[in-house]
């Protein structure tokens, strides 16, 4: 078995066998060291210093986490383990050596969520399971421990439906009000409210042209996304990047799993099980956004059919 | 509100923590005497607004969304400030954890409830509790890496039979090292991926071979530890046989190495018979056995095993015997003392010196005899300082043999305390008109977190004559006594 060659620049971070990236500029194209911000079990967060137009953060993820916008995923478990180990005690890392990877080793992934038929049974199941105070237990534990309400994400999760209904009704004032409540709200590095919004936008994209007429979906999406740019400064850097990507129609692969679950009840439990592993509460926060928005879309769909 | 009640805050600039970590921190601080309310949040406008509504937003607060905000309301300012200090320390503790995990389960049930389905559990409880936890993990369908020692052998046999029935690996008890699908467990070096799988009943033995293969540009596919007793007559190699089956089926594995001190004779016969029928080239590295090249290549040293594996994998392990530091090559006619932190490395040194006809005193300072009530010397290298200092004062010791083991789990800087002790010991000997030659090797790779080149430089600067392998260091020590070194076939 041949050995993967070693990066000539870092001499530590070996070339992976395969990389998944989204369409657009490669994360390693900027030929400058990236600062290591966070090393987790399934993701390493890097920061590109001095970047202005390109994304500020680059998430190098394992297969279990999947590709996220602006990042790259190392699907081979050994590649990610090796990379993670290599960066553990390093302040910076240089990925420019990855530019020498052969084209066949770089897999480009479409991170756009494309329209699909929503199954009412799947949506109802997702809403029910997400609403059953899911086993991540954060809200329940926060209440049990008498902690500050700020620590409880459940009230934020419940805003996905009202937000989507307001967008579908073209109620710009209500959309803006709800977005102000959601963006940046929640204790962690990726606030729960942001994840809820991302989930809601993803559900709208999934329903475009299927449960929702294309034009109506575009208008609702435009309402949601119109205010987001002005609210980006109200949240954390890590979350800001995901919100920008959502506005541009790009979603992390794990959001795709939830969108796919909207089409088949059998896909809902495994999708939720997987979601519980994404960050501390992020997976369930996004799932709540997807579920609440999809339910609102279907309600609207039924109302439209009745009135027709 | 009580007149003395106080609201105090601290802003930690650009610090990321997940919500569960912050909730746990807040919950813990809120239980302190006199603390009324705690907030630990990113300082986003939405969060500040909620704090404001509940009277928890300090006046004149300057913070940005990427800053972490700690707020404490307490019965008085002193209590609030103490709580804030504790909270900040809690954040720092989290920061200092090497990997800053998103989730760190503490029980098998926790682990099963978190994330996508796990496949392996690490058990590191006191030995008395380990069998229960291992059984839970096996019943849950998990492979197990059991670091715990002092597990009764009857439990080991029972649990290994259970594991074999389920075709699950039970690495250990008392398993020091493994690298499974690229994931390091216990004491493990950062070796590059490659075609050689190791099945090991000896921890530092496997580490030495993995490091030598890494240095030779070969790398490893898997390193499965089985625990030091697996090839005993009582356990009968239960896990060794299962691990061999698994690595034989592993597509990334072209060559297999079994590493152990010499097993019980009956177990050895069965093992060699099994190895001959695996269908892949195999090296049996059984310390102290004579080298032979039958259907199964047998080598009696770690270096010999690594060299044979490298050769079978289409590469070459070249171990020059010249030291990479200058030292007096003049033979010294006094005795050899080995002060080792790695048990199998000590055993290999004994084999090499014995083959050269040199009587030596080789001590494994990681043995239970020396570690009762204290950390293993690979974790706490200061445990070797006193024996090294004493060696300097011994007229019967002319050559001191040492090892230095790097990798995950090992001390962050094992070289410095050893180097300082070596300098003092050599000075003591010199003041007495003697020369103490200190010879050693570093078991590590360029990927190890300690930085192998820096560790080597520290030792070399202290006058340690460094060799690229433990066997080469032992051969050099033998040569210093005037004995003729015996090289393994491939390493010549």
pLDDT digits (tens, 9 = 90+) for A182-213: 999 987 778 999 999 999 999 999 999 898 99
Q: Which of B14, B16, B18, B19 to mutate to test the interface with A (most CBs of A within 10 A)?
A: B19
Task: Work out whether the CA dihedral B385, B390, B393, B396 comes out positive or negative.
Answer: negative
Highest mean pLDDT among A163-167, A234-238, B477-481: A163-167
Q: What is the mean pLDDT of residues B267-284?
A: 90
> 3-state SS string over chain B?
CCCCCEEEEEEECCCCCCHHHHHHHHHHHHCCCCEEEEEEEECCHHHHHHHHHCCCCCCCCCCCCCCEEEEEEECCHHHHHHHHHHHHHHHHHHHHCCCCCCCCCCCHHHHHHCCCCCCEEEECCCCCCHHHHHHHHHHCCCEEEECCCCCCHHHHHHHHHHHHHCCCCEECCCCCEEEECCEEEECECCCCEEEEEEEECCHHHHHHHHHHHHHCCCCEEEEEECCCCCCCCCCCCHHHHHHHHHHHHCCCCCEEEEEECCCCHHHHHHHHHHHHCCCCCEEEEECCCCCEECCCEEECCHHHHHHHHHHHCCCCCCCCCCCCCCCCCCCCCCEEEEEECCHHHHHHHHHHHHHCCCCEEEEECCCHHHHCCCCCCCCCHHHHHHHHHHHHCCCCEEEEEEEEECCECCCCCCHHHHHHHHHHHHHHHHHCCCCCEEEEEEECCCCCCCCHHHHHHHHHHCCEEEECCHHHHHHHHHHHCCCCCCCCCCCC
Which residues, 6 or more positions from A150, have their beta carbon under 8 angstroms from its beta carbon?
A: A186, A187, B39, B41, B47, B50, B51
Q: Which of A71, A70, A54 is nearest to A62 (CA)?
A: A71
Q: Which residue from B minimizes the CA distance to A156?
A: B46
Beta carbons of A39 and B447 less than 8 Å apart = no
Contact list, B30 vs chain A (CB under 8 Å): 145-147
Q: Which residues between 242 and 271 in chain B have a beta carbon less than 8 angstroms from any beta carbon of chain A? A: 252, 254
Asked if A141's CB is within 8 angstroms of B99's CB, the reply is no
Q: What is the pLDDT of residue B439?
A: 96
**Contact list, A42 vs chain B (CB under 8 Å):** 102
Before A110, cis peptide (omega within 30)? no
pLDDT, tens only, B13-45:
877 776 767 776 777 677 778 888 888 888 999
Start-to-end Cα distance in chain A: 65
A-chain residues near B29 (CB < 8 A): none
| B319-329: average pLDDT | 54
pLDDT in tens, A129-146: 887 644 444 455 555 555
CB B84 within 8 A of CB B10: yes
Question: For the segment B79-114, what is each residue's pLDDT rounded down to a tens digit?
Answer: 999 888 888 876 754 444 433 334 456 667 766 765
What does DSSP assign to residue A58? Answer: E
Contact between B243 and B258 (Cβ < 8 Å): no
φ and ψ at residue A199, rounded to 5 degrees: -60, -40
B454 touches chain A (CB under 8 A): no
**Residue B325 — pLDDT band, cuts 50, 70, 90?**
very low
> Is the Cβ pair B449, A89 closer than 8 Å?
yes
Distance, in angstroms, between A1 CA and closest chain B CA?
6
Summarize the confidence of residues A61-75 as an average pLDDT.
89
The tokens 């074999």 sit on which residue?
B164
d(CA A221, CA B239): 58
Which of A85, A138, A273 is opposite residue B447, by nearest beta carbon?
A: A85
First CA to last CA distance, chain B: 82
Which of residues B423 and A276 earns the better pLDDT score?
B423
pLDDT surpasses 80 at B330? no
pLDDT the model gives residue A14: 64
CB-nearest to A150 from B47, B66, B101 is: B47
ipTM above 0.90, yes or no: no
Q: B20 — contact with chain A (CB < 8 Å)?
A: yes
**Can you tell me the mean pLDDT for A67-83?**
86
A236:B16 CB<8 A: yes
| CB contact B116 to A (< 8 Å) | yes
Q: Of B37, B42, B66, which has the smallest distance from its Cβ to A187's Cβ? A: B42
- Taking CB atoms and an 8 Å cutoff, what residues of chain B touch A4? 192-193
B17 touches chain A (CB under 8 A): yes
pLDDT digits (tens, 9 = 90+) for B145-195: 998 888 889 999 999 999 999 999 999 998 989 999 888 998 999 999 999
């Amino acid at each position: 078995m041949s050995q993967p060659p070693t990066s000539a620049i870092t001499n530590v971070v070996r070339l992976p066998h395969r990389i998944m990236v989204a369409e657009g500029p490669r994360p390693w194209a900027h030929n400058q060291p990236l600062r290591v911000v966070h090393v987790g079990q399934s993701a390493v967060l890097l920061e590109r210093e001095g970047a202005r137009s390109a994304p500020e953060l680059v998430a190098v993820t394992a297969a279990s986490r999947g590709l996220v916008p602006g990042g790259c995923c190392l699907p081979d478990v050994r590649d990610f383990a090796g990379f993670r180990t290599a960066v553990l005690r390093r302040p910076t890392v240089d990925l420019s050596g990855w530019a020498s990877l052969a084209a066949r080793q770089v897999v480009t992934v479409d991170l756009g969520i494309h329209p699909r038929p929503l199954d009412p049974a799947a949506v109802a199941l997702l809403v029910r399971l997400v609403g059953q105070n899911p086993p991540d237990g954060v809200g329940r534990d926060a209440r049990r421990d008498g902690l500050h309400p700020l620590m409880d994400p459940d009230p934020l999760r419940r805003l996905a439906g009202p937000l989507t209904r307001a967008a579908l009704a073209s109620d710009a004032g209500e959309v803006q009000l709800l977005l102000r409540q959601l963006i940046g709200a929640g204790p962690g590095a990726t606030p729960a409210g942001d994840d809820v919004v991302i989930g809601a936008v993803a559900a709208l994209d999934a329903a475009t042209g299927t449960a929702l007429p294309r034009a109506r979906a575009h208008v609702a999406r435009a309402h949601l996304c119109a205010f987001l740019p002005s609210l980006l400064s109200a949240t954390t850097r890590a979350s800001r990047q995901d919100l920008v990507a959502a506005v541009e129609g790009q979603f992390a692969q794990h959001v795709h799993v939830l969108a796919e679950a909207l089409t088949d009840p059998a896909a809902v439990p495994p999708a939720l099980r997987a979601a519980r592993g994404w960050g501390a509460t992020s997976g369930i926060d996004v799932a709540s956004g997807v579920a609440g928005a999809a339910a609102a879309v279907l309600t609207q769909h039924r109302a439209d059919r009745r009135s027709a | 509100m009580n007149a003395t009640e106080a609201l105090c805050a601290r802003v930690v600039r650009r610090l990321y923590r997940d919500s569960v970590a912050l909730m746990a921190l807040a919950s813990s601080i809120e239980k302190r005497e006199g603390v009324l309310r705690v907030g630990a949040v990113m300082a986003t406008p939405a969060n500040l607004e909620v704090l404001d509504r509940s009277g928890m937003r300090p006046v004149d607060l300057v913070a940005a969304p990427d800053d972490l905000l700690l707020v404490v309301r307490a019965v008085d300012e002193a209590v609030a400030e103490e709580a804030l200090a504790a909270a900040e320390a809690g954040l720092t503790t989290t920061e200092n954890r090497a990997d800053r995990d998103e989730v760190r389960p503490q029980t098998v049930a926790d682990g099963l409830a978190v994330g996508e389905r796990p496949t392996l559990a690490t058990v590191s409880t006191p030995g008395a509790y380990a069998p229960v936890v291992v059984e839970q993990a096996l019943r849950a369908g998990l492979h197990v890496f059991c670091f715990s020692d002092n597990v009764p052998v009857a439990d080991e046999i029972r649990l290994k039979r259970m594991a074999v029935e389920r075709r699950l690996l039970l690495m250990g008890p008392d398993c020091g090292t493994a690298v499974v699908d690229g994931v390091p467990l216990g004491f493990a070096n950062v070796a590059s991926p490659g075609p050689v799988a190791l099945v090991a009943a000896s921890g530092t033995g496997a580490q030495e071979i993995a490091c030598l293969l890494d240095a030779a540009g070969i790398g490893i596919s898997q390193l499965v530890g089985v625990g030091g007793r697996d090839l005993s007559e009582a356990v009968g190699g239960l896990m060794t046989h299962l691990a061999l089956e698994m690595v034989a089926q592993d597509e990334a594995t072209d060559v297999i190495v079994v590493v152990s001190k010499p097993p019980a004779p009956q177990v050895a016969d069965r093992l060699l018979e099994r190895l001959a029928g695996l269908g892949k080239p195999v090296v049996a590295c059984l310390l102290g056995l004579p080298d032979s090249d039958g259907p199964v290549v047998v080598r009696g040293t770690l270096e010999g095993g690594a060299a044979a594996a490298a050769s079978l994998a289409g590469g070459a392990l070249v171990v020059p015997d010249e030291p990479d530091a200058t030292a007096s090559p003049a033979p010294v006619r006094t005795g050899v003392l080995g002060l080792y932190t790695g048990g199998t490395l000590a055993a290999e040194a004994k084999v090499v010196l014995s083959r050269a006809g040199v009587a030596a005193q080789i001590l494994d300072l990681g043995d239970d005899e020396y570690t009762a009530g204290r950390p293993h010397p690979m974790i706490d290298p200061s445990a070797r300082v006193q024996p090294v200092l004493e060696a300097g004062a011994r007229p019967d010791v002319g050559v001191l043999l040492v090892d230095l083991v790097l990798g995950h789990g090992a001390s962050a800087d094992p070289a410095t305390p050893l180097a300082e002790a070596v300098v003092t010991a050599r000075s003591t000997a010199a003041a007495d008109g003697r020369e103490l030659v200190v010879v050693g090797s570093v078991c590590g790779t360029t990927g190890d977190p300690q930085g192998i080149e820096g560790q080597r430089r520290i030792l070399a600067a202290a006058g340690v004559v460094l060799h690229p392998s433990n066997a080469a260091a032992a051969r050099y020590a033998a040569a210093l006594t005037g004995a003729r070194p015996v090289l393994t076939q491939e390493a010549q």
